[in-house]
Amino acid sequence: MLIELENTIKIYNQGKPNEVIALKGIDLEIEDNTMICFQGASGSGKSTLLAIIGCVFPPTSGRASIAGKKLSRMPDRFLTIHRREKIGFIFQQFNLLPRLSVLDNITLPLLPLGISPHERKTRARKLMNQLSISHKENFPAAQISGGEMQRVAIARALINNQPIILADEPTAHLDSALSIEFMQIMVDLKESGKTVIIASHDSLVSEHPAIDKIINIKDGRIHVP
Amino acid sequence: MLPKGLEKQINILDFSLMSLWRRKLKNLGIMFVFALVIFLLGSFQMLTGALTNSAQAVLKNTPDITIQKMSAGRQEAIPLAHAEKLHSIYGIRAIIPRVWGYYFDESKLANYTIMALEHDSMPYGNNLNLTLAYGHFPKKTEIGKAVIGRSVHDILGLDKRRIFSLFRPDLTLKSFEVIGVFSQQTDLLSNDLIIMNLTDARDLFHIPELMATDICVYVTNPTEIETIAKKIAGLLPDTRVLTKSQIQKTYQVVFSWRSGLASICLLTALAAFAILAWDKASGMSPEEKREIGILKILGWETGDILAVRFWESVLVSVLAFLFGCTGAYIHVAFFDASLLKPIMVGWSVIYPSFKLLPSVTLADLLLIFTFSVLPYLGATVIPAWRSATVPPDSAIR
Amino acid sequence: MFLNSWSLGLTLAGLIILALGVFACRTAVRILRYWNPQSDSNLQIKLENEIWLASTLVEYGLGFQILSVVLFVLAADTFCQVIVGAMCATGALLANSYGMPALLVKLAGIFVYGFWIVLHKLDISSETYPLVRIKYIYLLFILPLLVADITLQTLYISFLSPDIITSCCAVVFGSSDKTGPNLLEGFSQATTIFLYYGTVIALTAMGYLLLKRWLVLLAALFSAGWIWFLGLAAIAIITVFSSYIYAMPYHNCPFCILKPEYNYIGFALYFTLIPASFFGLTTVLVEPFKTMNNLAGAVEKYQRGAISFSLILLLLLTALSSYHFLLYRISGGE
The predicted pLDDT at position C259 comes to 79
Which residues in chain C are contacts of A75 at CB distance < 8 A? 48, 51, 124, 127, 129
Q: Is residue B36 part of a domain?
A: yes
Nearest to C8 by CA among C158, C188, C175, C210: C158
CB within 8 Å of chain A, chain C residues 117-146: 124, 127-129
More confident: C252 or A94? A94
**CB burial of residue B142 (10 Å; 0-12, 13-18, 19+):** middle
Contacts of residue C129, defined as CB under 8 A and 6 or more positions apart, other chains included, come to A75, C37, C51, C123
CB within 8 Å of chain C, chain B residues 358-377: 361-363, 366-367, 369-371, 374-375, 377
Are residues C40 and A78, on separate chains, in Cβ contact within 8 Å?
no
CB within 8 Å of chain B, chain A residues 75-104: 76-77, 80-81, 83-84, 89, 91, 95, 97, 99-100, 104
CA–CA separation, B92 and B228 (whole Å): 8
Q: Is residue B256 part of a domain?
A: yes
Q: Do B216 and B96 form a contact (C-beta atoms < 8 A)?
A: yes
| Residues B99 and B151 occupy one common structural domain | yes
Residue of C nearest to B314 (CA): C60
Are residues A73 and C48, on separate chains, in Cβ contact within 8 Å?
no
Q: Do C113 and C69 form a contact (C-beta atoms < 8 A)?
A: no
Beta-sheet pairing, A195-199 with A164-168: parallel
Q: Which residue of B306, B366, B371 is in closest CB contact with C12?
A: B371
H/E segment holding residue A174: none
Cβ–Cβ contact A78 with C under 8 A: yes
| Least trusted range by pLDDT, from A193-202, B148-157, B296-305 | B148-157
| Least trusted range by pLDDT, from A146-150, B48-52, C44-48, C317-321 | B48-52
ipTM of the complex model: 0.92
What are all long-range contacts of B207-211, with beta carbons under 8 Å and residues at least 24 apart?
Answer: B207/B77, B207/B99, B208/B77, B210/B79, B210/B80, B210/B81, B211/B77, B211/B78, B211/B79, B211/B80
Cβ–Cβ contact B168 with A under 8 A: no
The predicted pLDDT at position C160 comes to 78
Cβ–Cβ contact C234 with A under 8 A: no
Query: B111 has which bridge partners?
Result: B104
Q: Which residue of C8, C10, C60 is in closest CB contact with B381?
A: C60
- Give the number of domains in chain B: 2
The predicted pLDDT at position B280 comes to 67
| Least trusted range by pLDDT, from B69-78, B333-342, C325-334 | C325-334
Q: Is residue B350 part of a domain?
A: yes
Are residues C2 and B253, on separate chains, in Cβ contact within 8 Å?
no
CA–CA separation, C183 and C238 (whole Å): 11
Interval B263-291 mean pLDDT: 74
Nearest to B381 by CA among A101, C64, A26: C64
Range(s) of the domain holding residue A185: 3-223
Are residues A111 and B393, on separate chains, in Cβ contact within 8 Å?
no
Q: Which residue of A13, A73, A77 is in closest CB contact with C37?
A: A73
Kindly report the nearest CA distance between residue C267 and chain B, in angstroms.
11
User: How many contacts (CB atoms, under 8 Å) link A and C?
Assistant: 27
Q: Is residue B232 part of a domain?
A: no
User: How many contacts (CB atoms, under 8 Å) link B and C?
Assistant: 98
More confident: B73 or B332? B332
Query: B167 has which bridge partners?
Result: B173
Query: B212 has which bridge partners?
Result: B78
Query: Which chains touch C (3+ CB pairs under 8 A)?
Result: A, B
Residue of A nearest to C129 (CA): A75
Are residues C38 and A73, on separate chains, in Cβ contact within 8 Å?
yes
- Give the number of domains in chain A: 1
Beta-sheet pairing, A35-39 with A213-218: parallel
> Can you give the pLDDT of all 334 residues of chain C as single tens digits?
666 778 888 998 999 999 999 999 999 999 999 988 888 788 888 888 899 899 999 999 999 999 999 999 888 888 776 666 666 777 778 878 888 899 999 999 999 999 999 999 998 888 888 888 899 999 999 999 999 999 999 998 888 776 555 555 555 554 444 344 455 555 677 788 888 999 999 999 999 999 988 888 999 999 999 999 999 998 888 888 887 887 776 677 788 888 777 888 888 889 999 999 999 999 889 888 888 878 888 898 999 999 999 999 999 998 888 887 787 777 765 4
Q: Do A141 and A102 form a contact (C-beta atoms < 8 A)?
A: yes
Q: Which residue of C8, C20, C70 is in closest CB contact with B366?
A: C70
Are residues A60 and C40, on separate chains, in Cβ contact within 8 Å?
yes
Please provide the DSSP assignment of B152-164 as one string: HHHHTT-TT--EE
CA–CA separation, A11 and C276 (whole Å): 50
| Residues C89 and C134 occupy one common structural domain | yes
| Residues C161 and C187 occupy one common structural domain | no
Q: Which residue of B6, B294, B303 is in closest CB contact with A97?
A: B294
Q: Which residue of B12, B294, B297 is in closest CB contact with A112?
A: B12
Range(s) of the domain holding residue B197: 92-219
Q: Residue A152 pLDDT > 50, yes or no? A: yes
CATH code at position A29: 3.40.50.300
Interval A112-130 mean pLDDT: 92
pLDDT 10s digits, B80-114: 888 888 888 887 888 888 888 888 888 877 778 88
Nearest to B119 by CA among B206, B210, B242, B218: B218
Query: Which chains touch A (3+ CB pairs under 8 A)?
Result: B, C
- Give the number of domains in chain C: 2
Q: Which residue of C4, C23, C49 is in closest CB contact with B256?
A: C4
Range(s) of the domain holding residue C135: 5-167
Contacts of residue B48, defined as CB under 8 A and 6 or more positions apart, other chains included, come to B255, B256, B258, B259, B344, C5
Cβ–Cβ contact C39 with A under 8 A: yes
Determine the 3-state secondary structure of B137 from DSSP: coil
Which residues in chain A are contacts of C39 at CB distance < 8 A? 73
What's the residue count for chain C?
A: 334
Kindly report the nearest CA distance between residue C255 and chain A, in angstroms.
40
| Residues C147 and C259 occupy one common structural domain | no
Q: Which of B219, B240, B266 is where one domain is finished?
A: B219
Nearest to A24 by CA among A164, A221, A195, A200: A221
Q: Which residue of B295, B393, B395 is in closest CB contact with A108?
A: B295
Cβ–Cβ contact B364 with A under 8 A: no
Are residues C40 and A14, on separate chains, in Cβ contact within 8 Å?
yes
| Residues B202 and B257 occupy one common structural domain | no
pLDDT 10s digits, A25-44: 889 899 999 999 999 888 88
Q: At what angle do helices B362-388 and C5-34 cross, to 10 degrees?
A: 30
Are residues A95 and B395, on separate chains, in Cβ contact within 8 Å?
yes
Q: Residue B350 pLDDT > 50, yes or no? A: no
Cβ–Cβ contact A21 with C under 8 A: no
pLDDT 10s digits, B183-208: 876 666 677 788 888 888 888 888 88
| Residues B181 and B267 occupy one common structural domain | no
pLDDT band at B352 (very low <50, low <70, confident <90, very high): very low
More confident: B246 or B193? B193
For residue A63, give Cα distances in angstroms to A57, B296, B383, C127, C154. 13, 24, 36, 17, 57
Residue type for position A118: H
Contacts of residue B292, defined as CB under 8 A and 6 or more positions apart, other chains included, come to B305, B387, B388, B390, B394
| Residues C240 and C327 occupy one common structural domain | yes
Q: Which of C167, C183, C199 is where one domain is finished?
A: C167
What are all long-range contacts of C291-297, with beta carbons under 8 Å and residues at least 24 apart?
Answer: C292/C126, C292/C130, C292/C131, C293/C126, C293/C128, C293/C130, C294/C126, C294/C127, C294/C128, C294/C130, C295/C122, C295/C125, C295/C126, C295/C130, C295/C131, C297/C125
Which residues in chain B are contacts of A156 at CB distance < 8 A? 298
| Residues B389 and B274 occupy one common structural domain | yes
| Residues B213 and B265 occupy one common structural domain | no
Nearest to A162 by CA among A197, A114, A122, A201: A197
Determine the 3-state secondary structure of B232 from DSSP: helix
| Residues B147 and B275 occupy one common structural domain | no
The predicted pLDDT at position C76 comes to 85
pLDDT band at B348 (very low <50, low <70, confident <90, very high): very low
pLDDT band at A204 (very low <50, low <70, confident <90, very high): confident
Q: Is residue B31 part of a domain?
A: yes
More confident: B130 or B176? B176
| Residues C84 and C225 occupy one common structural domain | no
Output the CA angle C78-C80-C81, nearest 5 degrees: 75
Determine the 3-state secondary structure of C176 from DSSP: coil
Q: Which residue of B261, B366, B391 is in closest CB contact with C74?
A: B366
Query: B185 has which bridge partners?
Result: none
The predicted pLDDT at position B26 comes to 82
Are residues B392 and A104, on separate chains, in Cβ contact within 8 Å?
no
